Amino acid sequence: DGRITITIAQDSIVSMQKTAGYFTEQELWQAVDLAYSIRDKLRDVLLKSLV
């Protein structure tokens, strides 16, 4: 379910923000980009498996 994946991505972004003191802002944005690209890939796989 794509909604579950989105929630996981949002949760991981929130937890990254909580530990943001350990990261530079650039690293945080790279991690966010990664989370979204993973979500998109998972969504593509899920859509293909539904067809």
Residue 51's identity, in one-letter code, is V
pLDDT tens digits, one per residue of 7-26: 777 777 777 666 656 667 78
8 within 8 A of 46, measured Cβ to Cβ: no
44: containing domain: 2-50
User: Does the predicted TM-score (pTM) go above 0.75?
Assistant: no
Structural domain total, the chain? 1
> Is 6 exposed, middle or buried (CB count within 10 Å of its CB: 0-12, 13-18, 19+)?
middle
Average of pLDDT values for 28-34?
A: 87
pLDDT confidence bin for 31, thresholds 50/70/90: confident
Q: Name the residue among 13, 43, 44 with its Cα closest to residue 30.
A: 13
- The residue behind tokens 């890939």 is 41
